Amino acid sequence: MMLQSAPSVSSEALLDVDNLVVEYPVGAKIVHAVSGVSLQIARGETLGLVGESGCGKSTLGRAVLQLRRPTAGRVLFDGQDLTAMQGDALRLMRRRVQLIFQDPIASLNPRRKIGDIVAEPLVIAGVKDPEKRKQLVHEVLTAVGLDPTLVVGRLPHEFSGGQCQRICIARALILNPEFIVCDEPVSALDVSIRAQILNLLEEMKGRFGLTLLFIAHDLAVVKAVSDRVAVMYLGRLCEVGPSEQLFARPAHPYTALLIEAIPVPDPDVRPTETVPVGEPPSPIAPPSGCRFRTRCPRADQRCSDEMPELRAVAPGQFVACHHPLI
């Protein structure tokens, strides 16, 4: 697959994921969580990653950061292969990459004060001067819209979900990383707080020159912040393309399904009842050929015999389907 990016971002790939495979052994069986995913993210770009629950989004995000070692494949970050790194080299590299989780409240240690939680990455990174740490904590809390003097001495349970997510973002930013995996950062939040956090992430991205992998299951949310979108189904990529193009002309039947499922706040738009009933098959025994075929209205014999590879259908738009919509 060629590197494609929106015109405004430089085309240098900061992240290059090549044929990544992640499997979890469960008993005698194997969960095929990620099965051969390749993607690139240019410096300064936001790549959105969408797909249903259990399709492997978090696994992919964690494997990229080496929080879960992949079964096979390579992850080049700024030209260096993270999968081959160990010990100190990996630890140093980890400062440049961060993760923000879906459940903001659960990802904060309930017994530690906010000031200590946000400072923790500094401690791990060996910043010994407490005054320096304090100053950096104050700066980053201010940047995410919290009042440091009111916040540092308090415990996580005293904050709402949206505020906890701001704290998580502050913690992720404090080492001045280059790349952040945002794993469903707004899925647990209300519509109004969601908008605040999405705006904050966009602002932080500009201010700190970040590159983002933005994971969500809601295509509308992903579109709001992403230059390009990758659609994932049962461990594989279905489609990758520039956000607007993907929305206007989805090529993969699954992308079209995800777009259709977005609730539209307009009473004249009657919800279509064409979403196929049923849920993704088990990743322990994924279907042969195209993994989407058990729910796809266009499936035929070829789809069960032959696995579709990603190929270009339009400039910058790639689809893995034998019978694409365009």
Ligand X SMILES: Nc1ncnc2c1ncn2[C@@H]1O[C@H](COP(=O)(O)OP(=O)(O)OP(=O)(O)O)[C@@H](O)[C@H]1O
Query: Site residues (CB under 6 A) for ligand SF4?
Result: 252-253, 290, 292-293, 296, 298-299, 303, 308, 321-323
Phi-psi region of 78 (alpha: psi -120 to 50; beta: other; left: phi over 0): left
Closest distance to other proteins from the beta carbon of 76 (Å): 25
The yes or no reply on residue 7 touching other proteins (CB under 8 A) is no
| Beta carbons of 50 and 219 less than 8 angstroms apart | yes
**From candidates 43, 166, 171, 217, binder to other proteins by CB under 8 A:** 217
Closest distance to other proteins from the beta carbon of 89 (Å): 35
The piece of 116-124, 135-143, 171-179, 216-224 that touches other proteins (CB under 8 A) is 216-224
- Residue list 281-310, contact with ligand X (CB under 6 A): 283
Closest distance to ligand SF4 from the beta carbon of 326 (Å): 12
| Beta carbons of 163 and 194 less than 8 angstroms apart | no
The yes or no reply on residue 32 touching other proteins (CB under 8 A) is no
- Residue list 166-205, contact with ligand X (CB under 6 A): none
Whole-number Å distance between alpha carbons of 67 and 19: 18
CB closest to Mg ion, residue no: 58
Give the N- to C-terminal CA distance of the chain in Å, as an integer.
19
The DSSP secondary-structure symbol of 264 reads P
The yes or no reply on residue 10 touching other proteins (CB under 8 A) is no
Phi-psi region of 237 (alpha: psi -120 to 50; beta: other; left: phi over 0): beta
Whole-number Å distance between alpha carbons of 262 and 257: 9
**From candidates 20, 40, 41, 51, binder to ligand X by CB under 6 A:** 51
| Beta carbons of 77 and 179 less than 8 angstroms apart | yes
- Binding partner of residue 198 among Mg ion, other proteins, ligand SF4, none, CB under 5 to 8 Å per kind? other proteins
Q: Are strands 317-319 and 211-216 parallel, antiparallel or unpaired?
A: unpaired
- Binding partner of residue 190 among other proteins, ligand SF4, Mg ion, none, CB under 5 to 8 Å per kind? other proteins
Distances (CA, A) of 303 to 234, 255, 293: 15, 17, 6
Whole-number Å distance between alpha carbons of 300 and 321: 11
| Beta carbons of 166 and 146 less than 8 angstroms apart | yes
- Residue list 256-295, contact with other proteins (CB under 8 A): 257-258, 260-271, 273, 275, 277-279
Residue with the two structure tokens 């400072």: 119
Closest distance to ligand SF4 from the beta carbon of 122 (Å): 42
Closest distance to other proteins from the beta carbon of 192 (Å): 4
The yes or no reply on residue 208 touching other proteins (CB under 8 A) is no
- Binding partner of residue 269 among Mg ion, ligand X, other proteins, none, CB under 5 to 8 Å per kind? other proteins
Whole-number Å distance between alpha carbons of 290 and 301: 10
**From candidates 58, 98, 226, 243, binder to Mg ion by CB under 5 A:** 58
| Number of Cβ within a 10 Å radius of residue 61 | 23
Task: State whether residue 204 is helix, strand or coil.
Answer: helix
Q: Which residues bind ligand X (CB under 6 A)?
A: 24, 26, 31, 33, 51, 53-59, 217, 283
Q: Which residues bind other proteins (CB under 8 A)?
A: 46, 52-54, 160-162, 190-196, 198-199, 202, 217-221, 223-227, 243-244, 247, 257-258, 260-271, 273, 275, 277-279
